[in-house]
Amino acid sequence: MAKRLGIGVIGAGNYSQSVLLPNFKGLADQGVEVVSICNRTPESTRKVAAAFGISHATTDYREVLARSDVDAVFIGTPPYAHRETVLAALDAGKHVLCQTRMAESAQQARDMHERAVRAGREQGLKTMLCRPDSFLKGDRFIRHLLATGYVGRIHQVLATRVLPNFAASTAPLQRRQNIKYFGAINPMHIGFYWDIMHPWVGDARRVLAQAHTFTTEREEVPGGPRVTVGLPDSVTAVAEMESGAIVNQTQLWAGHFGPSRIEIYGENGTLVYISRIYDPRGERMYDDRQQDEILGAQVGEGTLKTLPIPPEYDDEWRVEEDFVRYVRGEVPAMGPTFLDGVKNMEYLEAVYTSTVEGRWVDLPRH
């Protein structure tokens, strides 16, 4: 049996409880044990600990990091707490798996990456970000098709997500509209889409973006005082890529019955990836990735047709197992690296700056 690996979980919201914690618990036969949990309130911490049979529960993440039986931590807090917690975890000698929305700013992400590089060099610590779950099933197949020239040189990419989460003007403020949790540059899933597309299309050279908030004030909590909505309901960004391609991304979370899809148009053909991880009401369907569909056609063919995902390219969520194997030295980093996270935050920051200043914004080169 593999050497025991103790996991501490810092931040256990709905996503952690629905996906990460059950999957870590499912690795018990591989010597993985979740030994400590930290959440924001005593009540939620006790509830999660009881639900998953975790012996140590606390509201102070430093108690998790101080435990000698914790070898690695998953950080599932909102982005505002990522930098502080990641740096503390590395200082405590723990391997780190962090949520993919890395930080509140590009500089925070750079701080985290630089510390991770040093910790890896000096202490052998491993760091990784979670992969996005949207468009996951066909990700490896899309990479294969692009690498083998299915569309040829990419001319333009159109990426769209339309959800109804912010459509009702009478609804109270939702968590993803709250700037204190996600920071000024983290609206909706614009960063998730960039995580998905970046391996397909490469680095961006510059960005032009526009944002709009249709309902500018909402109740902070049901029946509570009205507050200004800090993050937009809609963002459209145009990126000029280093390859010469153009990527158009639209995130509208105030529309009904819209698509979640990425269309890739090239010199020799077209690929369209339709993700159905969300239903038309905007509710996540964790078990319905099997409904994802990839369409394609090349020059000379009559119309788009379904491209079944071959079994060898049929991907699935295995972030927890990949992280454990990475920590044990069995595989390279399988998820986005901290440097990927830096690039993502630089893109988000450029998008934000463009929406505020109304101009093209250049991205750093690495």
The answer to whether residues 173 and 47 belong to one domain is no
- In the chain, how many domains are there? 2
Helices (H), 166-276: 179-182, 190-201
The answer to whether residues 276 and 197 belong to one domain is yes
The answer to whether residues 126 and 191 belong to one domain is no
List, for residues 6-57, the tens digit of each pLDDT value. Answer: 999 999 888 889 889 999 999 999 999 999 999 989 999 999 999 999 999 9
Give the side-chain half-sphere CA count within 13 A for 302.
0
Cα-based distances in Å from 350 to 138, 206, 208, 213, 320: 28, 8, 8, 19, 31
pTM: 0.92
> Does the residue 298 lie in any domain?
yes
Q: Which of the 8 DSSP states describes residue 278?
A: B
The answer to whether residues 182 and 52 belong to one domain is no
The answer to whether residues 12 and 45 belong to one domain is yes
CATH number for the domain that contains residue 312: 3.30.360.10
CATH number for the domain that contains residue 100: 3.40.50.720
Instruction: For the chain, give the percent of residues with pLDDT over 70.
Output: 96
User: How far is 26 from 163, CA to CA, in rounded Å?
Assistant: 32
> Does the residue 348 lie in any domain?
no
The answer to whether residues 160 and 69 belong to one domain is no
The pLDDT mean for the chain works out to: 92
Instruction: For the chain, give the percent of residues with pLDDT over 90.
Output: 81
Partners of 271 in the β-ladder: 264, 296
List, for residues 52-97, the tens digit of each pLDDT value. Answer: 999 999 999 999 999 999 999 999 998 999 999 999 999 999 999 9
The answer to whether residues 235 and 332 belong to one domain is no
Is the pLDDT at 285 greater than 60? The verdict is no
Enclosing domain of residue 301: 139-316
What is the model's pLDDT at position 279?
53
The answer to whether residues 45 and 169 belong to one domain is no
